[in-house]
Structure 1
Amino acid sequence: MTLAARLAPHLPPRVLASATDFLYPRFEPELRHLADFCPRGGTAVDIGGWYGPWSRRMAARADRVVTIEPVPHLARRLRATTPPNVEVLQAAATDHNGTATLWLPPDGRGDRGISSLVRRELHDVALDVPCLALDELSLGDVSLLKVDVDGSELAMLRGAEATIRRERPALFIELEVRIQPLEPVIDFLAALAYTGWVLPGRDWTPLAEFDLAAHQQRTVHVADDGLLRRSLAPHRRYVNSALFLPDARTPGS
């Protein structure tokens, strides 16, 4: 377990939120570029809310934020630390409604942000949680879906396909070749006329011109560093998310 994950459960919710909001844009610099793909107004959706750095930043731009977080104690923290225009749903986003098995690491908490509906070797504890298909929420005026579901991206997208086709939001999705092949998600979105972008440096680069799988294989050692270490050494870059935009849009357009 990382140092941050060990300390986090013992910090008051507001202190933890402030620390996360300070460090996370250095850990995931795409958050500093939120204005490039999250227009003002409308509804933004944070799927996999964790401690809420994306939810709180999105709440400053969107009229409404819907945050979906399956881990019960993380959902409670989110309700205590997000602005009034954030609605927190304690559930896992997938392709059906009902109940699903969420897999967590041996500590059974999920503070490292690696809980998933897809079991991997690092998972040891099973927890039954509510699950939902995003389409069932019938959301309107959706501008952005941010997705961090640690391996169940394709199921989540299938459960949101009607919303994506209707609303044409920007999609910011965590993708890691060490968890799953990248092609099924990229091909699914290409069929919906979405184009991928990544931010390996100062500027956005078309995903087609950046070998994301090879980059991750070269820098996978960085992925094992925790939030604190990677935030304090932002030059140690591990790109594990891609932005997908519809209809030939470009970041910042």
Structure 2
Amino acid sequence: MTTFAAAVASRLPGGLVGSAAVALYPRFEPELRRLADFCPPNGVAVDIGGWYGPWSRRLAARCDRVVTIEPVPHLAEHLRRTLPSNARVVQGAATDRAGTARLWFPEGDSGDRGVSSLARRDIHAHCLEVPSITVDGLGLSGVGFVKMDVDGGERAALLGAAELLRKDRPALLIELESRLGPIAPAVDLLAGQGYAGWLLAGRRWIALDGFDLVAHQARTEHLVHQGLLRRAFVPHRERYINSVLFLPDGRVPGTS
């Protein structure tokens, strides 16, 4: 997301950026093409970290209702204008407490690059105070799937959804990147709740247990900096995997 948005997001109207994201995302994030493997039809889906809506739009076509959580004000407003009518947009940062939080951005960015975070890193230069919310505080029910992209804030966001995970046992697709921080806290938290991780390697799902995701990401991180267009259209021997599917209670991708 980073290099694509850095190259074009500041030069194009939001609608065009959103359309490009929706069109190109499935080419380098193939999990989006495999919704049937883990996202129940109908029901409710939650998109935490909506950005320009590539996941929300696909989910809205499959599910009865989508709740999209996006902390960046102008992106949340863009989503309200452009997503289908069965999508509800909540402007806020999903974490483990309700209140306010500082959302950090790189120099010259206001959220379009998709690398804003509640945890300040060396790339961040300025911040904006935004509402902080918990998923449990939204009072949702019948949730079958949750997608989460929160740039290092995964454990806190999961703690804020503890009751939903206990009650609905949804499938979770979480972006975990060791370059942003340790991935073990989120993995261990979910393992303690009966969830096991899966990765889409080529055309098949493999168990996270026994796969060294940290080493894989270190070996393939150079692909992240090549940009969305090159990652989408130029063949590579392997891809950078940062999306982990978590399924509860012994479920396997592709089974009901």
TM-score by length of 2: 0.95
Cα 1:234–1:27 shift into 2, 3 Å: farther
- Matched AA of 2:9: A
**Cα displacement (A) at 1:3:** 5.0
1:21 and 1:155 mapped to 2: Cα distance? Answer: 28
Which residue in 2 is equivalent to 1:240? 242
2:150 and 2:105 mapped to 1: Cα distance? Answer: 12
User: Residues 51-104 of structure 1: CA distance to partner in whole angstroms, max 9, x if unpaired?
Assistant: 100000000111000000001111111112210000011100000111000001
> Is the 8 Å Cα contact of residues 47 and 67 (structure 2) preserved in structure 1?
yes
Q: What percentage of residue pairs aligned between the two structures are identical? A: 59
**Cα displacement (A) at 1:6:** 3.7
Which residue in 1 is equivalent to 2:68? 67
- Matched AA of 1:217: A
Cα 1:120–1:139 shift into 2, 3 Å: same
- 3-state SS of 1:20 partner: helix
2:43 and 2:7 mapped to 1: Cα distance? Answer: 36
Within 5 Å, give how 1:59-208 maps onto structure 2.
Answer: 59-208=60-209
1:36 and 1:17 mapped to 2: Cα distance? Answer: 25
> Is the 8 Å Cα contact of residues 27 and 234 (structure 1) preserved in structure 2?
no
1:142 and 1:207 mapped to 2: Cα distance? Answer: 24
Gapped regions of structure 1 (runs ≥ 5):
none
User: Residues 187-235 of structure 1: CA distance to partner in whole angstroms, max 9, x if unpaired?
Assistant: 1000000010001211000001321111001011112222222112253
- Matched AA of 1:148: D
- 3-state SS of 1:19 partner: helix
> Is the 8 Å Cα contact of residues 26 and 33 (structure 2) preserved in structure 1?
yes
TM-score by length of 1: 0.96
- 3-state SS of 2:58 partner: helix
Q: For the aligned residues, what is the CA RMSD? A: 1.4
- 3-state SS of 1:54 partner: helix
Cα 1:6–1:218 shift into 2, 3 Å: closer
> Is the 8 Å Cα contact of residues 8 and 17 (structure 2) preserved in structure 1?
no
Gapped regions of structure 2 (runs ≥ 5):
none
Cα 1:3–1:61 shift into 2, 3 Å: closer
1:2 and 1:181 mapped to 2: Cα distance? Answer: 23
How many residue pairs end up in the alignment? Answer: 253
- Matched AA of 1:50: W
- Matched AA of 1:105: P
**Cα displacement (A) at 1:182:** 1.5
2:112 and 2:38 mapped to 1: Cα distance? Answer: 27
User: Residues 119-153 of structure 1: CA distance to partner in whole angstroms, max 9, x if unpaired?
Assistant: 11011111100110111111000001100000000
The list of structure 1 runs, each at least 4 consecutive aligned residues, that deviate by more than 4 angstroms after superposition, is none
**Cα displacement (A) at 1:21:** 1.6
